Structure 1
Amino acid sequence: MYVPRTTAAALATAVVSLTVGLGGAAHAAAGPAAAVVTRAGLDPALVAGRGADLGFLEQEAEHAVTDGTVIGPGRDAYTLQAEASGRSAVRLEPGQYVEFTLPQAANAITVRYSIPDAPQGGGITSPLDVSVDGRHHRTMTLTSQYAWLYNEYPFSNDPTADILHPDWWMTECGCVPDATTPAPVVAKPFRPNHFYDEQRLLLGRSYPAGAKIRLTVPAGAATTVVDLMDSQQVAPPHVEPYAANVLAFGADPTGRRDSADALDRAIAFARRTHLKVYLPPGTYQVNRHIVVDDVTIVGAGSWYTVIKGHQVTLPAPAPDGSVHTGVGFYGKEAAAGGSHDVHLSGFAIEGDVRERIDTDQVNGIGGAFSDSTIDGLYIHHTKVGMWFDGPMHHLVITNNQIADQIADGINFHTGVTDSVVRNNFVRNTGDDGLAMWSEKTEDADDVFDHNTVQTPVLANGIALYGGTDNTVSDNLVADPIREGSAIHLGSRFGAEAFTGHVWVTGNTTVRAGTYELNWNIGLGAIWFYALEKDLAADVEVVGDDFLDSTYNAAMFVADWPVRDLYSISNVHFKDVRVDGAGTSVVSARAAGSATFENVQARNVGAVSVNNCGSFHFTAAGSEFGLTDLGGNGSWLSPWELPNTITCDDRPPVVPPPAPGPWH
């Protein structure tokens, strides 16, 4: 259990430090409003140069003016505070409010919130009043229809469901349920998770810095937890005058009629005439895949052009195993040559996915795209924001927002090469935020750069499963929730081996390192896992900051049955800063080795190196060796080198103080 020691005084100090940085007066949450801007729940100065910049400013509800109740901070999975950005939020009962002061002029807001599920599952709706300076009232209709999953993977929408996998190990009772007599009794709902959703609202006009945005729960509405509000100045709608306008082909911008066929006609015409396809402002109903190849599709902007669809049950399973279809833009399958020269920009995709069915192709973007670009989309409520099945090459993905997915944010699967994911914002995924999965064929020469990944509910912020010569650079990853962490390199899921180089450079992780249910241990903010093969590529971890790690900053682990078969070696840490670790800087639970040069660490809870090796405890020392290349300070002291056993299987967690400037 993680028990933060943040006090009211400490919170006030944090508010003061953030406010002073903005040039405003410092006030506690109950006093006059202060525009407290954060990034990943931290002072922006602590993460400068890392992550995405899409023009909006984040304000955490716990730093705003409210007569509600601050919940958290806390990091225990299956709690509302753990899934909140910054691990705190504000709970509002009917009649209560939270009020944000705009830090800059804005005409649009995004509210991240949670409301209860229906008693039998399936969600509810509830109103939220939005006012500006006490006037200009609008009503947002919040929903929990896309939240609230339960039980074991791949989860259930039914809060009363029995255990899904009676033969699985269960942490709660330390048993394999089908081998237990009588069967274990678990509280229902069992393992509730995926509580939050977000909703965007255009305010109708621009309001100046200092305006007060108040969110009030009306009488008779549901208890509402507000996590944060993003605000921004959205540009006017983009107009593309010389294009195949979908309205001319019968598309309905009111969303009442299905526009899929009209989009197909516009795309076919545009390809013949070498024009772009233009989607003017409106909501277009699309309930199936739009297959694209050699075409440019431009919207008026993701706030104005929305492609929205229902999930449709197929009369019979498709050859790929899908039992549903839904809205999505798909390239042709790689086996059919894939799609080329596709350029998608400036619109939103709103899906209708409420359950995880891994065989379903109900992603926002899917298929294979080569020599293509995807820019400025907002993808919401699909299974995976973008899932690519290669081989394919030269895809550039920039400036997109992906939120509230049942599974991954973006996944490069099977032979995606020479491709870039840059300046994208991913929040509240149900699996890895960004992933490269080299199943069958290596992903190679790909780059994940300057992206922000926040609150992945399951798995990792950024994960690499095999591959060669791939780069993870200058990203910001915050608040992973369970069974994963911020950055992960894993030889697993049938992936090809890591070969060549892996560069993990200039990234910042915040409040990372979750509790692994199957092992009953905490993971590192960055963790390396040898399950199916050795992990032996040249891995360079350079210039990264690991802030406020719940357990350890770096972890090396092999699963117990294969601990004598596979090892982790050739990992090199250089110019790294660790500011806060609940247990250790390094936890080694595998054979192998790593080098450390100019790695600075402070506020470490337990022994700085927790070296169990592969648990044979030989007279020669641990099977995992640490090499000191200098400049590491006192945390990597000589008595812990090169392979002294310092093994505590589950060291006590000592929560560190909040990270601060590094002097």
Structure 2
Amino acid sequence: MTRARPTTDDVRPRTRWRTAATIAASAAVTVAMTMTGAGAAIAAQPSAPPTPVTRAAISPALSEGRGAAVNFVEQEAENAVTTGTAVGPDRTAYSLAAEASGRQAVRLTGGQYVEFTLPKAANAISVRYSIPDAATGGGITSPLTVSVNGGGARTMNLTSKYSWLYNQYPFSNDPNAGLLHADWWITECGCVPAATTPTPVISTPFRPMHFYDEQRLLLGRTYRAGDTVRLTMPANAAAAWTIIDLLDSQQVGLPTVKLLASNVLAFHADPFGKRDSADAFDKAIAFAKRHHLTVYVPPGVYTVDRHIIVDDVTIQGAGNWYTVIRGDEVALATPAADGSVHTGVGFYGKDAADGGSRNVHLSGFTIRGDVRERIDTDQVNGIGGALSDSTIDGLYIQHTKVGIWLDGPMDGLKVSNTTIVDQIADGVNFHTGVTNSSVSNSFIRNTGDDGLAMWSEGTADANNVFDHNTVQTPTLANGIAIYGGTDNTVSNNLVADPIREGSGLHVGSRFGATAFTGSLHITDNTTVRAGTYELNWNIGLGAIWFFALEKNIDADIEVTGDHYLDSTYNAIMVVADWPVKDLYSVTNLHFRDVQVDGTGTSVLSARAAGTATFDNVDARNVGAVGVNNCGTFHFTPAGSEFSLSGSGNDGGGTTGPWFASWELPNTITCDDRPPVVAPPAPSPWIQP
């Protein structure tokens, strides 16, 4: 989504907040070390032990029943046999380790390899990787050799043209560019450059990010459990190094064939991608609507360099490994009415102002764009417009701006079993008056903004559900974010490894959103390694955080059954921005049956006025005092402006029980920046 411009008002007074220069220097060293491959050597092993299967880089048992039930298995490179060197672990923004799944990966140079032992039969793999950018930006290509059991070598041509962004929001592809916004607050120097004499020098590349991409490969045959897949960086590769983050492997079934259909080939679509097939798709859709048929897209790669407008139609591919609809980003001769300066491949419902589209059903294909820069006015999303009473099922969406961006009002959309990776901005955004809609059993990785979002800008999103999804490594903002709205639910999701300026789960009164009304249910979610360092504020965020920026947050918010694992800072954070801390509060929060396993600092950090109840919230491996209660920083004789109550809250850390009686109801326990104590890795929770 469009991010708010940071200003000096976004940070605390200098008398209360120390400068970020020390932190920035540390981050710069980390980036330099990571990018040059510093790290401990991982010794090659004489035989291939089983490569552990993980979900979000932890044991699958720790998130059982949560997240998407995907048809692939994940194996982390740092757990495999390799002659490469370790990258990480490190959670510092702008580093290759921080953006890796589990905050670790493996670095290869020429001739080095990483080898995975397949846990199940597979005929297809996905490799998540990073290679360097070109010196002047724009990316390079470099080969990676894939062999199974020592033979059958194939080449994957890796590219960095869809990764490596730099600078301030909305970012640049130029590693050598100066500041995009010379008057913005810069945390690295603690200054507003335009108001500083002399103007501070910002080293380039400034804030490198979005390092990773992924690529799929059909292996040509089925291999058995116990067979080994080796990824080797050739000695003559163009890249100076190749980072391997993980391998996903799976058994892909046969392509789906639909005979009684409006086949795009009958309208001269080109399955080899040499000619643009957009007109053929339009003709196939028109024929299907006249004759009440499904549009069928057989196996192939189809070039479509503009939007396909869909209404009252079903479009089915042969499966997203077989049917690929790709397109270049095309500059428009003049800007469109909506502000777009580019177009590209995408399936769009009609605009809501024109009545929107209904009864659209999209399934079984890939949408692969060519978006390499973030221009917020551009409509270059995989799916867009307004789609009521519609379904999106089994798609794979890559390299678009936003995978699925819906502009309501609209009602009754169901997104399911869909994979969205490598986006410049959000994965899915329900924007403005989306109602009775859902995203379920879907997998989102490497977004450039929120993985899943409901944004009630001007008109409330209502009665929507995000359920049983997995969101990993959003490079900016949050795994799942709810901005205003009424009676929405976030349930049974798995969120891991947010990188900067956000966290795992977020509830925010921001971005012009309507007030929260009715209820918001956040139920049975698991976050892993969540909670980033907020660079503008110089504080760590919670794995779940509530932010009152533009309005009170006072709806009935029920957080039930969540698990917060290995939180980098706090598990739970409640905050109001400093300029409005005496205007807006966060009240009516209720936490019940929650488990907190490991925090770098506290279970709860309260930096706002308000109230919350905690019942049966159990914690262990807490790095600091359980409740860090600053309220609104007035430190009145009556105590903190944020009060807590509850019962049955057990466990804690080295400072004792996290919900100690002396901390209630509003005892001030404020430590502006408590020391971070890295917790042990999460483990099964043994109930007493």
Sort the TM-score into its range (normalised by shorter chain).
over 0.9
1:454-473 equivalence runs, <5 A: 454-473=472-491
How many residue pairs get matched? 640
SS at match of 1:660: coil
Partner of 1:57: 73
Alignment of 1:221-260 (within 5 A): 221=237, 222=239, 223-260=241-278
TM-score computed with the length of structure 1 as normaliser: 0.96
* Mapped pair 1:510 → 2:528: yes
C-alpha separation in 1, matches of 2:212 and 2:638: 50
Q: Which moved more, 1:202-211 or 1:30-39?
A: 30-39
Structure 1 position 501 matched with structure 2 position 524? no
1:523 paired residue among 541, 544, 556: 541
Contact kept in structure 2, 1:150 and 1:190, CA below 8 Å: yes
Question: Within 2, Cα distance between the matches of 1:475 and 1:335?
Answer: 33
Task: From 649, 661, 673, give the equivalent of 1:650.
Answer: 673
The corresponding residue for 1:341 is: 359
**Deviations 1:376-427, CA, capped at 9 Å, x for gaps:** 0000000000000000000000000000000000000000000110000000
Residue number in structure 2 paired with 1:96? 112
Pairwise CA distance, 1:603: 0.4
Determine whether 1:622 maps to 2:645.
Answer: no
User: Of the candidates 98, 121, 133, which is equivalent to residue 117 of structure 1?
Assistant: 133
Which residue of the partner structure matches residue 210 of structure 1? 226
Q: Deviations over 1:519-576 (max 9, x none)?
A: 0100000000000000001000000000000000000000000000000000000000
2:659 maps to which residue?
A: 636
1:30-77 Cα offsets, whole Å, 9 max, x none, are: 753213100000010011001001210000000000000011110000
Kept after mapping to 2: 8 A contact 1:30/1:65: no
Query: Of 540, 544, 563, which aligns to 1:545?
Result: 563
Q: Which residue of 2 aligns with 1:294?
A: 312
Change in 2 beyond 3 A, CA 1:420/1:272:
same
1:134 CA displacement:
0.4
TM-score normalised by length of structure 2: 0.92
Q: Residues of 1 paired with 2:70 and 2:679: CA distance?
A: 31
**2:604 matches 1:581:** no
The one of 532, 547, 551 equivalent to 2:550 is 532
Paired residues for 1:7-18 under 5 Å: none
For structure 2, list consecutive stretches of 5 or more residues without a partner in the other structure.
1-22, 28-42, 652-656
SS in 1 for 2:324: strand
Partner of 2:196: 180
Whether the 8 Å CA contact 1:167–1:176 is kept in 2: the answer is: yes
Q: Deviations over 1:300-326 (max 9, x none)?
A: 000000000000000010010000000
Shift of 1:283: 0.2
The equivalences for 1:22-33 within 5 A come to 32-33=48-49
- Distance in 2 separating the partners of 1:368 and 1:564: 39
Equivalent of 1:72, from 81, 88, 92?
A: 88
Match of 1:142 in 2: 158
The letter of the residue matching 1:432 is D
8 Å Cα contact 1:151-1:190 kept in structure 2: yes
- From 406, 409, 416, the equivalent of 2:424 is 406
Distance 1:491 1:32 in 2: 51
2:9: which partner in 1?
A: none
- Aligned AA for 1:608? G
Sort the Cα spacing of 1:415 and 1:342 in 2 relative to 1 into closer, same or farther, 3 A: same
User: Contact (CA 8 Å) 2:649, 2:659: kept in 1 or not?
Assistant: no
Which one is further off, 348-357 or 215-224?
215-224
Alpha-carbon offset, residue 28 of structure 1: 9.3
Once superposed, which parts of structure 1, at least 4 consecutive aligned residues long, lie more than 6 Å away? 27-30
CA distance in 2, matches of 1:598, 1:632: 7
Q: Distance in 2 between matches of 1:629 and 1:179?
A: 51
Among 470, 478, 489, the residue aligned to 1:452:
470
Q: Which residue of 1 aligns with 2:173?
A: 157
Matches of 1:477 and 1:384, distance apart in 2: 18
Pick from 507, 512, 529: which aligns with 1:489?
507
- What is the distance in 1 between the residues matched to 2:526 and 2:299? 37
- Check the 8 A contact 1:597/1:632 in 2, yes or no: no
Identity of aligned residues (%): 73
Q: Is the Cα–Cα contact under 8 Å of residues 44 and 82 in structure 2 kept in the other structure?
A: no
Could you tell me whether the CA contact under 8 Å between 1:436 and 1:464 is conserved in 2?
Answer: yes
Secondary structure of the residue that 1:267 maps to in structure 2?
Answer: helix
CA separation in 1, counterparts of 2:628 and 2:546?
A: 15
- Partner SS state of residue 671, structure 2: coil
One-letter amino acid matched to 1:43? S
Match for residue 262 of structure 1 among 280, 286, 310 = 280
Structure 2 contact 48–117 (Cα < 8 Å) conserved: no
- Shift in Å, 1:186: 1.4
1:557-609 residue CA offsets vs partner (Å, 9 max, x unmatched): 00000000000000000000000000000000000010000000000111111
Deviations 1:239-274 (A, max 9, x none): 011100000001000000000000000000000000
Aligned-residue offset at 1:485: 0.2
Q: Secondary structure at the match of 2:616?
A: strand
1:418 corresponds to? 436
- Distance in 1 (alpha carbons) for counterparts of 2:675 and 2:188: 19
Residue identity in the other structure for 1:655: A
User: Is contact 1:514-1:550 (8 Å) kept?
Assistant: yes
Do residues 392 (structure 1) and 405 (structure 2) align?
no
Contact 1:29 1:64 in 2 (8 A): no
Task: Verify: 1:559 aligned to 2:577, yes or no.
Answer: yes
CA distance in 2, matches of 1:517, 1:422: 32
Give the residue type in structure 1 aligned to 2:332. Answer: L
- Kindly state the Cα deviation for residue 631 of structure 1 after the two structures are TM-superposed: 3.9
Secondary structure at 2:286 match in 1:
helix
Which residue number corresponds to residue 682 of structure 2? 659
Please tell me whether the aligned partners of residues 427 and 444 of structure 2 are also in contact (alpha carbons under 8 angstroms). yes
Give the conservation status (yes or no) of the 8 Å contact 1:628–1:641. Answer: no
Give the counterpart letter for 1:84 in structure 2: A
* Mapped partners of 2:370, 2:484: distance in 1: 32
Any idea what SS the aligned residue of 1:183 has? coil
Aligned to 2:31: none
Q: Could you tell me how far apart the structure 2 residues matched to 1:609 and 1:165 are?
A: 38
Listed one character per residue, the Cα deviations across residues 54-101 of structure 1 (whole Å, up to 9, x for unaligned) are 210000000000000011110000000000000000000010000000
Against the structure 1 CA distance between its residues 30 and 519, is the aligned structure 2 distance closer, same or farther, given a 3 Å change threshold? farther
Opposite residue 92 of structure 1, the aligned amino acid is L
Question: Matched residue of 1:636: which SS?
Answer: coil
Q: Does the 8 Å CA contact 1:356/1:383 hold for their aligned counterparts?
A: yes
Q: For residue 37 of structure 1, what is the aligned residue in structure 2?
A: 53
What root-mean-square deviation, in Å, do the aligned CA atoms of Structure 1 and Structure 2 show? 1.1
Output the amino acid matched with 1:245. N
Q: Distance in 1 between matches of 2:67 and 2:163?
A: 26
Cα 1:67–1:327 shift into 2, 3 Å: same
Partner-residue secondary structure (3-state), 1:353: coil
Cα offset, 1:628, TM superposition = 1.9
* Aligned-pair CA distance for 1:133: 0.3
Report the AA paired with residue 261 of structure 1. Answer: D
Offset of 1:29 from its aligned partner? 6.4
| Inter-partner Cα distance in structure 2 for 1:582 and 1:31 | 37
Q: SS at the partner of 2:593?
A: strand
What secondary structure does 1:264 align onto?
Answer: helix
**Counterpart residue type for residue 106 of structure 1:** A
